[in-house]
Structure 1
Amino acid sequence: MTQKLLAFASMCVGMFIALLDIQIVSASLRDIGGGLSAGADETVWVQTSYLIAEIVVIPLSGWLSRVFSTRWLFSASAVGFTLASLLCGLAWDINSMIAFRALQGFLGGSMIPMVFTAAFIFFDGKQRVIAASTIGALASLAPTLGPALGGWITEHASWHWLFFVNLVPGPLVAILTFRLVNIDKADLSLLRGADYLGMVLLALFLGCLQYTLEEGPRWDWFGDRTILTTAWIAGLSGIGFVLRTLTYAQPLVDLRALRDRNFALGSLFSFVTGVGLFATIYLTPLFLGRVRGYSALQIGEAVLSTGMFQILTVPLYAWLARRFDLRWILMVGMALFAISMWEFAPITHDWGARELLFPQALRGMAQQLAVPPVVTLTLGGLAPARLKLASGLFNLMRNLGGAIGIAACATILNDRTNLHFQRLAEHLNSTNESLALWMTGAAARLGTTADEAVLRPLWQATFREAQTQAYSDAFLVIMAAFILTVLMVPLMRKVAPPSAPSADSH
């Protein structure tokens, strides 16, 4: 048992650092761009390249682990992830950074689904519930802590250490998993009948979809020729991949698992929690940076409360999971997430860490009460033989939810800011007595009556208020998605886990 716990713990550390690195750069992109002499449009690809590579490899990891075995694939991925992290820290320009981040995301992404599979093979009964709870907590905690940790590191050291911090845990994870994880055997014969066409279609679908979602809000979506082209490629290759998977003898992803009601609903809930998790992590630092003008460290400190309250909720979840049906815990978690979004909605331009504390506390608690039960209810009822391919699809849905959620929020911010600005500007005319008094006071403060000097701060204040209202709109849209999931939770069946073979028997 001690060996299994240590093996599981080492795999969890590998998953944690892979997920942490998605968001660890989010509060420090301005510093990275400055260090590499890159503009904002280029710097955003430090995060985008990681996400694209990760989202492509996640559904492939189940097949790869069957070919090379969990031990070899996880250990090799940990070694490669560590080396890629070193290269990111040593990057000499933005192009090298983007290439190394893509490599880092590809190698890190392959570790994530294998932890889910290992948990259900290592443990059964109540131990399985605890293991699933641990994985779920880490899966939502890592990206939540990313901006806070990244901001602190950048402020006290430099942005290079955002990547160098992986040089200690990476090798340890590789060594421990290679020595302790022995739950399956490599089967190189699978290379002969592999669906290589399916791999190409999957890579084209997910890569182009991620690019379209990331770049669409900035380039007017289908008004841009490149975005239109990648959208068509994503759509056609996606249809081709589904048809290929349903007809091929040895598919890469187990789409037939969606026939299972719990797996289908659980994948949907994983998608929605991905929207809530990643979109709110995107929105909050963006608001604090753009509207409040916070530094990387200030952003990190302001969003840290979410992770703290999630950690504090772990004992509560463990107590509830032993006494209540996981479906009702999931319903409470989803409802709490919706309430937290409602509490974000009254946001004003002067909100800081104090005002964000309560809604972020609710979100932290919601993540702990929502994500672990989804893992158990979705994967816990599947036969061990189907876990590898199904867990890749399940994890893909969470990351897809995050990608689509971020893209939707970016579009909302762009479109609604323009709309709110126009509505506010309509009232700023010569008949507005408050505006006349404000301009008189501004002229006195500035010591000039020049229109440009007086109107510029007015434009800035109006744009700031329009931006703030757009953030409120985005939070309300996320709230609506969670309300729908709350209504659908009763459709899930209570899980009766199949007996799993002991890891020691392999």
Structure 2
Amino acid sequence: MANATTANPAILNAAQPASEKIVPRRLIAFLIMVFGMFMAILDIQVVSASLSEIQAGLSASSSEISWVQTSYLIAEVIAIPLSGFMSRALGTRVLFSISAAGFTIASFLCGFASTIEQMILWRAVQGFLGGGMVPTVFASAYIVFPRSKFHIVGPIIGLVATLAPTIGPTIGGIITDWMSWHWLFFINILPGIGITVGVLALVDFDKPHLELLERLDWWGLITMAGFLGTLEYVLEEGPQYQWLQDTSVATCAAISVVSAIAFFYRVLTADEPIVDIRTFGNRNFAVGCLLSFCLGVGLYGLTYIYPRYLAEVRGYSALMIGETMFVSGITMFLTAPVVGRLMQKFDMRLIIACGVVIFALGSWQMTFITRDYDFYELLLPQVLRGIGMMLAMVPANNIALGTLPQGMVKNASGLFNLTRNLGGALGLAVINQVLNERTDLHIARLHDRVTWGNTAARETLDMLTQRLQGMGDASLMAMKQLSQIVHRQAVVMGYGDAFFMLTVFYAALTLTVLLLHKPNMLASPEPAH
């Protein structure tokens, strides 16, 4: 007699009770929240391709303009783990509507900012309120819907979490090119109002427990903010300021270490901790967070490294970079429903392993990068990147959060999303460091080889000198051009080294899958507490 695992899926679906069906009202409410999450994640990267235009519009210095992104990230990384507690206290409906309304108002004020100080302030507010939306959507997906439907809702949130940062530079470049940088923020206003109204009208997932606010652990909140905020600053600013050689970076690193010790002591001893880190005692959740952290390195790292190469080596405009990067976004969009189907038929651990291997293959292809790599040379690596990221991220979300008891999901969602963002921050820091150090090393090596005894170098110099005859000091100008060629080649070799590092990293990451227990996605969850 066939067992339950081999029964006809159509028979199983027909026998599902009413509680296994997705209520249309809740599905619509959930999709509205997903769009809010999309806005919040998109706004991390939407300004990245337009920082020079914002800098000119606000008369900011090159060191000040980086804070347009840094302030958002620091505020968001503090809000994400806090959202679990606030969601239990205020309820999903109130927390999300406050976050969406505040995010919309902050976007409006960012668009009207006339100084860099105003922009940094409102971007921080925007990041903090946006950080409240992202984990709330993840938690709702795994609380509201029956576990037999996770293959539907899982790809939706996985797609948004990966697609939004990937196409952020594309959308930002198009908006700035067609209108102005102000519209990077104004574009949020009408959707933000619609999301706020829709959530207030439709969300009924849970009830608030306002008595929790009386037990809010202020010391836990302060130490968490000190720990995560300064850590984010160190990772963002460290590579360009030689890490601990800079006073501000060294000071923040010290504050982060002290705050981390105080924070972990507090959350392990408090009666009602601001974040319950004991959730990491669940093996699948802990390994899922490790996967999320490592996937964050690639998600945000490659969203940074591709545009930087296209701008620095190829001289692309923001719009051209966006059009080239859009390939990964389309691939992710098309792959998401396929992943949902695969999760019904195959062990999710195998899907994750395949995704990580495909991602590594995409990075490996880029290790052969030259200064002539253009749209078509980048096409296949970006397709592999999009497929690999979706195959790895969506099942990792389901394994980490989908098998937890309902009472743990809200807190766990904040921790899970935090690991992805911290992975992205660390990835950017490491990639920047590798690019800087390897480029300097290749410049030194190439200069040692480009001597009068090198036939190719001498022939190139003679050719450049002849081409520049009659334009002043042809010999000096030819030497400058040859130096620029050497520097550009060293930069490209640095990019190749960074991609090789990512290839090795993700090839090794496949072993992490062995630590996961096989998940039972159809098991009945424990009731919420």
Asked whether 1:149 is paired with 2:184, we answer no
Match of residue 499 from structure 1: 524
Asked whether 1:468 is paired with 2:468, we answer no
Deviations 1:376-411 (A, max 9, x none): 000111111111111100000000000000011111
Matches of 1:323 and 1:265 in 2, distance apart? 22
Matched ranges for 1:96-495 at <5 A: 96-447=118-469, 448-449=472-473, 452-495=476-519
Q: What amino acid does structure 1 have at the position aligned with 2:46?
A: I
Q: Is the 8 Å Cα contact of residues 89 and 162 (structure 1) preserved in structure 2?
A: yes
Query: SS of the residue aligned with 2:81?
Result: helix
TM-score computed with the length of structure 1 as normaliser: 0.97
Matches of 2:153 and 2:517 in 1, distance apart? 20
Q: Is the 8 Å Cα contact of residues 25 and 202 (structure 2) preserved in structure 1?
A: yes
Matches of 2:460 and 2:473 in 1, distance apart? 12
Query: SS of the residue aligned with 1:27?
Result: helix
Q: What amino acid does structure 2 have at the position aligned with 1:424?
A: L
Q: What amino acid does structure 1 have at the position aligned with 2:480?
A: R
Point out 4+ residue stretches in structure 1 off by more than 6 angstroms. none
Which stretch of structure 1 is more off in the superposition, 163-172 or 38-47? 38-47
Q: What amino acid does structure 1 have at the position aligned with 2:161?
A: A
Q: Is the 8 Å Cα contact of residues 443 and 449 (structure 1) preserved in structure 2?
A: no
Matches of 2:415 and 2:354 in 1, distance apart? 25
Match of residue 29 from structure 1: 51
Deviations 1:51-108 (A, max 9, x none): 1111111000001111211110100110010111111111112221111111111111
Q: Compute the displacement of 1:137 (Å).
A: 1.2
Q: Is the 8 Å Cα contact of residues 121 and 501 (structure 1) preserved in structure 2?
A: no
Q: Compute the displacement of 1:437 (Å).
A: 1.7
Q: Compute the displacement of 1:501 (Å).
A: 8.2
Which stretch of structure 1 is more off in the superposition, 364-373 or 489-498? 489-498
Q: Is the 8 Å Cα contact of residues 468 and 474 (structure 2) preserved in structure 1?
A: no
Q: Compute the displacement of 1:195 (Å).
A: 1.3
Matches of 1:462 and 1:365 in 2, distance apart? 35
Matches of 1:494 and 1:236 in 2, distance apart? 38
Q: Is the 8 Å Cα contact of residues 120 and 500 (structure 1) preserved in structure 2?
A: no
Asked whether 1:13 is paired with 2:38, we answer no
Distance 1:421 1:230, change over 3 A: same
Matches of 1:78 and 1:160 in 2, distance apart? 19
Query: SS of the residue aligned with 2:180?
Result: coil
Q: Compute the displacement of 1:425 (Å).
A: 0.6
Which stretch of structure 1 is more off in the superposition, 96-105 or 36-45? 36-45
Greater Rg, structure 1 or structure 2? 2
Matches of 1:239 and 1:481 in 2, distance apart? 29
Matches of 1:359 and 1:413 in 2, distance apart? 19
Q: Compute the displacement of 1:359 (Å).
A: 0.1
Matches of 1:5 and 1:18 in 2, distance apart? 20
Give the gaps of 5 or more residues in structure 2.
1-22
Identity %: 46
Q: Compute the displacement of 1:502 (Å).
A: 9.7
Which stretch of structure 1 is more off in the superposition, 272-281 or 165-174? 165-174
Q: Is the 8 Å Cα contact of residues 137 and 367 (structure 1) preserved in structure 2?
A: no
Q: Compute the displacement of 1:423 (Å).
A: 0.6
Matches of 1:209 and 1:40 in 2, distance apart? 22
Q: What amino acid does structure 2 have at the position aligned with 1:127?
A: K
Q: Is the 8 Å Cα contact of residues 213 and 404 (structure 1) preserved in structure 2?
A: yes
Deviations 1:347-386 (A, max 9, x none): 1112121111110000011111111101100011111111
Q: Compute the displacement of 1:126 (Å).
A: 2.6
Q: What amino acid does structure 2 have at the position aligned with 1:490?
A: L
TM-score computed with the length of structure 2 as normaliser: 0.93
Query: SS of the residue aligned with 1:251?
Result: coil
Deviations 1:252-282 (A, max 9, x none): 2221111111011000000011000000001
Q: Compute the displacement of 1:47 (Å).
A: 1.1
Q: Is the 8 Å Cα contact of residues 217 and 272 (structure 2) preserved in structure 1?
A: yes
Matches of 2:385 and 2:278 in 1, distance apart? 33
Deviations 1:184-207 (A, max 9, x none): 222222122221111111101111
Q: Compute the displacement of 1:318 (Å).
A: 2.2
Q: Is the 8 Å Cα contact of residues 447 and 486 (structure 2) preserved in structure 1?
A: yes
Matches of 2:314 and 2:63 in 1, distance apart? 21
Q: Is the 8 Å Cα contact of residues 121 and 500 (structure 1) preserved in structure 2?
A: no
Matches of 1:251 and 1:501 in 2, distance apart? 21
Matched residue pairs, number? 504
Query: SS of the residue aligned with 2:368?
Result: coil
Q: Is the 8 Å Cα contact of residues 154 and 161 (structure 1) preserved in structure 2?
A: yes
Asked whether 1:56 is paired with 2:78, we answer yes
Which stretch of structure 1 is more off in the superposition, 94-103 or 310-319? 310-319
Matches of 2:220 and 2:511 in 1, distance apart? 35
Matches of 2:129 and 2:274 in 1, distance apart? 18
Q: Is the 8 Å Cα contact of residues 227 and 259 (structure 2) preserved in structure 1?
A: yes
Q: Compute the displacement of 1:450 (Å).
A: 5.4
Q: What amino acid does structure 1 have at the position aligned with 2:386?
A: G
Matches of 1:480 and 1:199 in 2, distance apart? 37
Q: Compute the displacement of 1:122 (Å).
A: 1.2
Give the gaps of 5 or more residues in structure 1.
none
